[in-house]
Amino acid sequence: MTELLLKNVRPFGGAATDILIRDGRIARIGAGEVGAAAVEDGCGAIAIPGLVEAHAHLDKSLWGMGWHVHQAGPSLEDKISTERRLRRELDIDPRRQSARQVALAASHGTTAIRSHVDVDTDQKLWCFEGVAETRERFHDVMDIEIVAFPQSGLMIRPGTLELMDAALANGADVVGGLDPCGIDRDPKGQLDAIFGLAQKHGKPIDIHLHEADELGAFSLEMIIERTAALGMHGKVTVSHAFCLGMPDRARAAALTEQLAREDIAIATTAPASRPVPAAAELRRAGVRLCAGSDGIRDTWGPYGNLDMLERALFIGLRNNFRNDSDVEFALHVCTQGGADVMELKDYGLREGAVADIVLVEAETVPEAVAARPRRKLVLKRGKPVARYGQPLFTVE
């Protein structure tokens, strides 16, 4: 039996208390008898559950490879083809780069990641295998879920479907998809194919949908129809869903109602550059919302740091959240929202839950989101994995 006592911490900024962790789970929140437990003094820090990165691309980042001078043109197709070319030219090794991102994410208090991983006819399963190796290597530091993601298109690249099928047979957790109209120009073909894979393997779906306005709404309706027809209620996530930010708010509201009805979740990055689904409207309708960093310093763009506390700030800014309760909801999206989508068992800051805990020095949760202080301590299943913004493990 291993025990750790977190003394003098404030769950969600509430009253100071102690958290006793036994064998990786929260055994007790509150004062009481303690045996031979190791002790960490929280000195009044706020305790929150581990942050959940629900939309990453662990196979893509150039983190640690020096500054990359951006080369891709402005269109989505330019970014996709430039990346395919540079993967081998720059040796963006998915194994090495995903390990570096695990350390970066852990240092910021993330304890679970859903990562889309490219599957295409050039790389074949190279990216999947690299990230799968990282998932295995760091299983005591990070829960990693892998989405088999047809980044270069599915119907326009024959052979991709078979590779996705192979990835799912070999341990990928989720079926990915991408702009069925904009990239494949065959929405029925792509959506039938990925829903078919999901049915075959008994896996959930997470579709990137960048398509704007009425085109995106059209694709979204086709996704909703298939979710209903195949009984995949609660098993489908749509990432980005920029179309829900469309100017026609009545149309967006009607789509939002349908998403709620089929329990289709939305993943957002809350980008400053695009219209996005309105978090408050999704919340009101009962649509589950999670968040992620998307690409981090990759051939798509120079930004990002995998800090989900900062992502909560971006959600707050993008949605004009000012009230404490709204800012707390932004953090909820980056914690429980992601945990729900990843179906993390026994997640949360409560007795009996897995002890994925982050300590952060702030007066209140909204202050923690606004100030984003370095994480004082990060526990994964009760074990310290990062302290004051530094991982306690090596990756190289």
* Residues binding Zn ion (CB under 5 A): 294
- In the bound state, the residue with its beta carbon closest to Zn ion is 294
Give the Cα separation of 26 and 381 in Å (integer): 9
Query: Shortest distance, CB of residue 222 to Zn ion, whole angstroms?
Result: 20
**Residue nearer to Zn ion on the CB measure, 130 or 295:** 295
**Residue nearer to Zn ion on the CB measure, 53 or 294:** 294
Residues in the chain: 396
CB atoms within 10 A of CB 372: 18
**124 and 322 Cβ atoms separated by less than 8 Å:** no
**Residue nearer to Zn ion on the CB measure, 18 or 294:** 294
**Residue nearer to Zn ion on the CB measure, 129 or 294:** 294
Phi, psi of 176 (to 5 degrees): -95, 165
DSSP string for residues in 208-276: EE---HHHHHHHHHHHHHHHHHTT-TT-EEEEE-GGGG-S-HHHHHHHHHHHHHHT-EEEE---SSS--
Query: Shortest distance, CB of residue 242 to Zn ion, whole angstroms?
Result: 12
**Residue nearer to Zn ion on the CB measure, 274 or 284:** 274
Query: Shortest distance, CB of residue 345 to Zn ion, whole angstroms?
Result: 25
**Residue nearer to Zn ion on the CB measure, 118 or 294:** 294
Give the Cα separation of 293 and 295 in Å (integer): 6
Query: Shortest distance, CB of residue 294 to Zn ion, whole angstroms?
Result: 4
Query: In whole angstroms, how far apart are CA 50 and each of 150, 169, 291, 360, 383?
Result: 29, 29, 14, 11, 12
Query: In whole angstroms, how far apart are CA 39 and each of 4, 350, 389, 392?
Result: 6, 19, 20, 17
